[in-house]
Each structure stands twice: as structure tokens, then as C-alpha cells.
Structure 1
């Protein structure tokens, strides 16, 4: 009988994608993961690898304040169905990646590949390249990392757990985009990032870091008036919708644009010790 994790050899390795709609493959075969609540339960295990998750935690994470009429009894039913679906054939699930533990279930990810794990690897390459001064390689790595996203992470999956992970991964995607653009600005690629930053600012209209980068890119591209217009629009939105003034970063960039401070706006990159947040999802 195969031990936990060895069942992945039945038809090839088991792969998951979460940086978009939840998808799974056994080798080259796309797997049907069943109803969305069942997929949400799988996600609640997959994104906590090696951690035992109780039935109550799964119930709360997938259904929230409106549990099904059967209560926690639905959990083992969904687990059984997932074990079968994660195999190419209706084999014994004794070696399933979903392990039954005392008190709950645990996802055994030792032989599983995920796009999230690959994302972490590429981002680490990007940070290493930036810290060594190879900004072009860092931009290439961050571009490859962002290419792993295929729409909204965990799109359409219900429940509080999936929603929290969706927000976390979406925020991390924005962090990666900002890091990439920062390096492009240091490389003098001002014109090529303006359109991308306008798109980001439209999606994240209250994000002051994105607005600050857009102002810097516009200024570096010789569009000082447009940069000042961005500040005016963001400030008006913040005051009218949130009752707050722009924060320190955006005010500093605004003042630098007013006095044409090339050093602050388009100067050399900061040392590695001042690099941006490295926390990975």
C-alpha cells in the first residue's frame, strides 16, 4: 500500500493553481473538483499544508455564519469525494494527499506542486537580483511572477476562508507590481510603465503608493502637469470619500514634483537594506 504522498505517481504529479480559478491536474489531465463548496473546502486544506484543520474550522471557513442543515456531517462527505476526484481512477484513497488526523484533516503537500510555491521561488530570485544591483533581471523575474496570475485568485470560491485568501493574494499581487515598476523607473523605463500604472490606479483608486509611482513616472517622462493632476485627483477622492488628507509618501512626491527634484523622483535605487516588504503569501 502506498504511503501518504506516493499516490501522486498514479498518472503523474498532482498540481494545483490558486492564482486564478482553482484548478488541479494529475499529470496532464485536468481534474474535476466538484461543486464550489467542495472546492472551497479543498482550498482551506491546500493553503494550510501540513496543518490539521478541524471539522468546525472547515465548516466556519467554507460556510461562515450559515452552515448547511447537516452541519459538520457534510465535511467527511466532501473529503471522500475530493479524495476520489484527485485520482485518475477510483483507486483506494489510503494514500490520499488529504490525510485524516485525530481532530480533523491535513493536506500532505510533499509530492504536490502549486503555482503559489513557484511564485515564492521567482519572487526570491527577483529580490536577490535587485539586492545585487541587477535591476533588469529583477524586472524580468517580477514579470514572470506576475504572469502566474490568471485573473482574480480563487475566483468565485465561497466562504470566509477563500475570501480572506483572495484579498491577501490580490494585495500581494499589487506589491509585486509596485516592486517591478519601481525597478523599471530606476532603469529609466518611464514611458513603458505609465500605462500600467494608470491601469493599477484605476483598479486601486485609494492606493497612495501606486499614485506616487504614477506621479514619478509622469514626471520622469516630462509630464509634470499630469503628475500634479494625479495628486489633485487622489487628494480630492481621499477627502470626499474618506475624510482624510494624503499621507506622507504622496505629499513628499507632490512637493518633489513642484520643485522639480530629480534626485528624489528619478534618482538611484536605495540600498538593499531599504528594499520593500519581502513577506510572501
Structure 2
């Protein structure tokens, strides 16, 4: 299903379905296993929709195609909200930008694709987790621009605990603490991350984080880095 969903409205070959679902260990029955699975997928019905007629999966000579309206996908609706949020931010409509990105985040569950296995599921899961973290960073950046530093500190602490190697999250938490006159706590966040990076990756903090740290040491205004330019996060376990 994930192969068809990722390439909706495009024909996906049987060989590709086998490869993306089972990787290097396909079933012994080979391509013969695909039609029964597709039959079951067609019969799936969303909860609360008794009149559902089934998933529109068409058989083509080259493979199968899932025929759907792009606007029916949560991922596309979420991305649209985030784009609109960025446009609102660019035009100075910060409250509207915050509302739109918050609405997008409200569409997420705790863990994407939970329970699904296979190489494709794992790849898509990591990508979706990354997208969610980027949206969270954008929303918190808007909280900062709206002067709500104190409000986001508990949330940021939680994200740093869940993503202990995330430099962008540490940057945001350090900035929020510093803006609330909690300099010692902000410096402690830096020292903790520096230790974890050294122990687990053999590296040190990046340039953005180092600049924030040095500004706090000198009691100067911290640099404000665009969220989109931040180094990407590594999800912790």
C-alpha cells in the first residue's frame, strides 16, 4: 500500500512492489503474492464509513496504480498549510502564520506509520518524523517572534529529551531560556549537548549553536537563525 500511496496516480510495477515491501527477501511465491494483497486493499474501509466502495486501485499492464485526489491526502493538506504559514509570515501576519502551522501539526499522530515494517516503511517513517520536527521548529520560531519565549520552554525541554542530539532544538531552548533571563540554564543545555555529541558521534556543536553560546557568555543578543537554514536533527531513541 505504501508503494502505491507514495506514487499515487502513477503506475507501480510488480517488481517494484516486491522490492519496496520485502526488500532483499521477497516471498518464494514471487509476483503471485501481489494480486491477493491488492484484492484485500481494495476491500479496506475507513472507520465510520459503511458505504465505502473500496480503494480505487487499478490494474495496468505494467503494474498497479492508486487513483486518488491529491487533496484527499493528509500529507498534502499538511504541506499546504505549512506553505501558507510561511507566506503569512513573510507578509508579517505572524498570528495567522502561527495558526496555520499549528493546524498542520494538529493533523499528526504520535508516530507515523506505526506498526508497518519493511524498508520502504522505515524510510518514509524517518522522512515524516523529520518533516514534523521541521514544522515544530517553524511554529516555535513564530512563538519567539510573538514574544512567547516563556510559554514554549516546557515543550522545548520535552523535545530536547526526546531528541538529545538535535542541535536545532537545543538552539531554540537555549534562546528561550536566555530571553527569560535564565542564563545558567541556557549554558547548561549547551554543555549537556556538547558532552552527548562527543560521546555518541565524536563531534562537537555546530557553528550556529556555538555562536549562541558565545553570545550568552558575553550577555549579548543571541543570533537569530532562519529555521530553514538550521542543521537538521538526528532523532534520539
Q: Assess same fold via TM > 0.5.
A: yes
Aligned to 2:65: 106
Q: CA deviation at 1:65?
A: 2.1
Question: Do the aligned partners of 1:49 and 1:107 also contact (CA within 8 Å) in 2?
Answer: yes
Alpha-carbon RMSD across the aligned residues, in angstroms, is: 2.1
Q: 2:123 aligns with which of 160, 164, 176?
A: 164
CA distance in structure 2 between the partners assigned to 1:221 and 1:231 by the alignment: 16
How far residue 213 of structure 1 moved from its aligned partner, in angstroms, is 0.7
Specify which structure has the bigger relative contact order, considering alpha-carbon pairs within 8 angstroms and separated by 6 or more residues: 1
Structure 1 partner of 2:27: 68
Alignment of 1:22-101 (within 5 A): 42-86=1-45, 97-101=56-60
Which residue pairs with 1:22 in the alignment? none
- TM (norm. structure 1) is 0.75
Match in the other structure for 1:119: 78
SS of match in other structure, 1:262: coil
Relative to its length, the structure with more helix (as a share) is 2
Partner residue in 2 for 1:206: 165
Output the CA distance in 1 between the equivalents of 2:141 and 2:44.
43
Deviations 1:81-124 (A, max 9, x none): 21233595797x8xx62111221111111387121122022112
TM, length-normalised to structure 2: 0.88
Which whole-Å CA distance do the structure 2 matches of 1:236 and 1:170 have between them?
25
Distance in 2 of aligned mates of 1:112 and 1:261: 46
Find the counterpart in structure 2 of residue 195 from structure 1: 154
1:276 aligns with 2:235: no
Cα contact 1:211–1:234 (8 A) shared by 2: yes
Summarize the alignment of residues 122-133 of structure 1 with structure 2, pairs less than 5 Å apart: 122-133=81-92
Structure 2 regions of 5+ residues with no counterpart?
230-237
Q: How many residues align?
A: 226
2:180 and 2:127 map into 1 onto residues whose CA distance is: 33
